[in-house]
Amino acid sequence: MASLIAILLGTSADARVFEDGTGGGTIISSRAEASYQDEAGESYNTVSPTVTVTVLTVSTIAVTPDETAPSDTIAPRESVTRVFRVCNTGNNADTFTLTRVEVTAPATLSSLHFDNDGSGTLTDGDAPVRINESISPQLPPGGCVGVLAVIDTNDSPAQSTLTINLVARSNAVNAVNGRGQDAGTIINTIGTGPRLTDPDNPNLPPANLINGKGQAVVAVGATVTASIAFKNSGDTAARGVLVTQELPTGIDYVPDSLQSTDLKVSATRSSAQASDASRKVVVNFPRIEPGEVVRLSFRLRVTGNVPGGTGVATGAVITADNMSPVKTGGAVIVINPFGLVFAGRAGSSAPITGARVEVTTDQNGENFVRLPSDAGFTPNEKNENPFSSDGQGHFSFALSPDEIGSENSNANYFMKVTAQGYITRMVRLSLRPSQAGLFALTVHAADNQPLAVAGGFELVREDVRINDLAALVLNVPMFEPAGLQIVKSADRARAEIGDTITYRIEVHNPTAANVNGVAVKDLLPPSFHYASGSALLNLGSASGQSIEPETTGNELLFRISEIPTAQLRGSCIACVWAQMPARAIRKIWRSLPPRSPPENIFKARRRGPSSMCRREFFLPVRF
């Protein structure tokens, strides 16, 4: 007898089945059906009782990554954002709470955020998180959300390891396994950070040059090119880099002169600005990667009225969001490095050629200061001491660093200047270092003669101070041994009473400058009277012009506004009453009408003894 038996099993569920698993609360029904046929061909069917199974809720989450080795290198004093991913690996919709975050000291956690927009970066839409308080968005089974951890590395030592651990816990209730939790780990290495150096030597600061050199000699009004170059010799990128160049007094930025090039990024990444208010040139680079070289240049114009020989130190400060400030190397603009020997009463218009200028360590002039040879500026490139001023009256001396004194002690010297026709000068010099190899100079007149103000020709009696000199130079006024010369003469050696005598007063200015505000005083002998309107003034070869003196008794005072560097000749007419007995003079006066005018006196002639002498003398004038 043969039989055929067929067994059928059937299941059904009243809850949705998820692709990654069956959701919690799902009811699964199962039953068996059997059929068979006997030998006679008769069929039989049977159904088993239905078996029902309900899937319980399971709460699990997974936090990634789970690193065991460093995945990135970051820098000290940097703020970084690291992304964790928390996923719902349970079988029911769930939320989670962050219960713990651990960061290797001295790094600290700055903030936590749910990465709501999934960008992987901190944006305005990302919700802040508080440990054990904030609840995540609801995640379906298999759903994930990012957690942003913002970390401040602070002063974490280089080559150390920074570990970030984050623990998340499910908020599910009535789960068969309770509240599931998991931890994730991110490991980074602390590198040396960004380090900006000279492009060719990582042991030197960023390069800073003027016209391609560490020192450039220019004149007022000249334009120079400042260039800055640096390389990121560190192992992390420098972020938010600012190059700031302070503009010294007398130096102006030439607008739109900035140029910037680097090996990886175009110049459009940078921007520059300069304003009279800030007196700064600022260049911005958002990011400079390790190994990247940046070169930038801009033009500067020397506009200020600064003393000759002044050195203007230039340099920039480079800052970034994740590194300490770095100063570039220094470069110096040397402006007109020469002094001038000039006639003190004439100013710069009367330079003195061939004046011997010497710098000694003693006032007796026995020990000359030894200067570094062939290291000088024009006109004294050989740096000779003593030196004779050139055809423009210029001189210059360059000192070595050990000849400008120290912070605790001045270097003291004497400068002696001699020139034919002028009084020898002796000034005392005191030097003290200031900045960038420059020095401050204090000048004292050891000879009690006037000095010239710093960078000018105005004469002063006090000491003069000149700051930030790159060369030993100053303006030295020289003075003639004599001032104005004056000679008085008459047109005759003998005269009679009533004669008219013409006096001639000659004033000679032997100095190299015009003399202003001159007063010539003449005292007439007794019985001599000035004839009003008779004085004439002759300047050089010009024809005579009338001049009237101020009269007080027999004293005449002539005021001359200016006497040029030539001879001034003046003449006046006076009535002569010769020396005679008093009774004769009274007789003449009695013969004249009362209050007789001067012309009547001129007509009253009487022969008598008379004499006239020539007077010559020098009138020294002090300025």
User: Tokens at residue 414, please?
Assistant: 């004497």
**Distance (Å, whole) CA 324 – CA 363:** 51
CATH 2.60.40.740 is the classification of domain 196-334 = yes
* pLDDT bucket at 591, cuts 50 / 70 / 90: low
Q: What is the DSSP string of 213-278?
A: BSEEEE-TT-EEEEEEEEEE-SSS-EEEEEEEEE--TTEEE-TT--EEEESSS-GGG--EEEETTT
The residue behind tokens 């719902």 is 88
pLDDT tens, residue by residue, 31-53: 788 888 878 888 888 888 888 77
Residue range 97-110: average pLDDT? Answer: 96
Residue 4 pLDDT grade (very low, low, confident, very high; cuts 50, 70, 90): low
pLDDT band for 617, please (50, 70, 90 cuts): very low
Q: Do 105 and 170 touch, CB atoms closer than 8 A? A: no
Is pLDDT at 299 greater than 70 in this prediction?
A: yes
C-alpha to C-alpha distance for 535 and 549, rounded to whole angstroms: 8
| Residue 567 buriedness (CB in 10 A; 0-12 / 13-18 / 19+) | middle
| Residue 209, CA distances (Å) to 166, 260, 316, 537, 574 in order | 50, 15, 11, 62, 76
Tokens representing residue 516 in the block? 């202003």
- The DSSP bridge pattern shows strands 475-478 and 339-343 to be parallel
Q: With respect to CATH, is domain 485-618 assigned 2.60.40?
A: yes
Question: What pLDDT band is residue 573 in, cutting at 50, 70 and 90?
Answer: very low
pLDDT value of position 33: 83
**Mean pLDDT, rounded, of the chain:** 83
Distance CA 113, CA 191 (A): 26
DSSP letter (8 states) at residue 349:
G
| % of residues, the chain, pLDDT over 90 | 53
Average pLDDT over residues 543-559: 87
Identify the CATH assignment for 61-190 out of 2.130.10.30, 3.40.640.10, 2.60.40.10, 2.40.40.20: 2.60.40.10
Which range (169-173, 542-546, 602-606) has the least confidence? 602-606
3-state secondary structure of 368: strand
Bridge partners of residue 112, in order along the sequence: 149
Burial class of residue 448 (count of CB atoms within 10 Å of its CB; 0-12, 13-18, 19+): exposed
116-126 pLDDT per residue, tens: 999 999 999 99
- Residue 300 has a pLDDT of 94
Q: Are 197 and 233 in contact (CB under 8 A)?
A: yes
Residue by residue, DSSP assigns 535-585 as -EEEETTSPPEE---EEETTEEEEEEEEE-SSEEEEEEEEE---S--HHHH
Helices (H), 369-484: none
- Residue 430 is predicted with a pLDDT of 97
**pLDDT greater at residue 541 or residue 430:** 430
Residue 16: pLDDT over 70: no
Q: CA-to-CA distance for 129 and 152, rounded, in angstroms?
A: 17
CA-CA distance, 617 to 592, in Å (whole number)? Answer: 39
171: left (phi over 0), alpha (psi -120 to 50) or beta: alpha
CA atoms within 13 A on the CB side of 224: 27
496 pLDDT band (50/70/90 cuts)?
Answer: confident
What do you get for the CA distance between the two ends of the chain, in Å? 156
Judged by average pLDDT, the poorest of 192-206, 394-408, 563-577 is 563-577
Q: Are 447 and 424 in contact (CB under 8 A)?
A: yes
Tally of residues, the chain: 623
Higher-pLDDT residue of 36, 303: 303
The whole-number pLDDT of residue 575 equals 45
Residue 303 clears pLDDT 50, i.e. is over it: yes
pLDDT reported for residue 445? 96
79-88, 256-265, 561-570: lowest mean pLDDT where? 561-570
Q: Do residues 485 and 619 make contact, with C-beta atoms less than 8 angstroms apart? A: yes
589: three-class secondary structure by DSSP: helix
DSSP, collapsed to helix, strand or coil, labels residue 117 as coil
Q: What is the pLDDT of residue 614?
A: 32
Mean pLDDT of 253-269: 65
Strand partners, 147: 84, 114
Instruction: Copy the structure tokens of residue 397.
Output: 């001396």
Q: Where in the chain is the domain with CATH 2.60.40.740?
A: 196-334
pLDDT digits (tens, 9 = 90+) for 383-428: 999 999 999 999 999 999 999 999 899 999 999 999 998 999 999 9
Give the rounded distance of the alpha carbon of 407 from its chain centre: 22
pTM: predicted TM-score of the whole model, two decimal places: 0.62
For 465-494, how does the pLDDT look when each residue is reduced to its tens digit (9 = 90+)? 999 999 999 999 999 887 677 888 888 777
- The per-residue pLDDT for 323 is 86
